[in-house]
Amino acid sequence: MEKIILVIHLFLALGIIVTVLLQKSEGGALGIGGGGGGGLVSVRGSANLLTRATGIMAGCFISTSLLLAILAGAHSNKGINLDQPAATGNPTAPSTPAEPSVPLSK
């Protein structure tokens, strides 16, 4: 299940990169697309289509990110209690404090 979602997540990441690069830039010649007319869709229509596609893919990317984080958290060990010391040796034997190995000065 996780592998399928991860593959979808990677395809969404690549799709977002492509749609962002295809959009016409307004501040300079950074965009790949946006040139020449003469297609099935007008320039304004293609800009709206790319903007919507980018938004939809971004929403799906965020949802797959959250889903992958939830699935990764489900695999964590929930039996760990960090507030209690770890049991070592025989848990039924009472523990006695160790005597200091170096004599204390008086």
Q: Report d(CA 65, CA 68) in Å as an integer.
A: 5
What is the number of helices (H) and of strands (E) in the chain?
2, 0
The number of CA neighbours under 13 Å toward the Cβ of 45 is 6
Please tell me what DSSP assigns to residue 39: S
| pTM for this prediction | 0.56
The segment with the largest mean pLDDT, out of 9-18, 22-31, 40-49, is: 9-18
Distance of alpha carbon 50 from alpha carbon 19, whole angstroms: 6
In angstroms, rounded to a whole number, what is the distance separating the alpha carbons of residues 32 and 73? 39
Residue with tokens 């992958």: 68
Q: pLDDT tens digits, residue range 61-71?
A: 999 999 999 99
Q: pLDDT for 54-93, tens place per residue?
A: 999 999 999 999 999 999 887 765 666 677 776 665 556 5
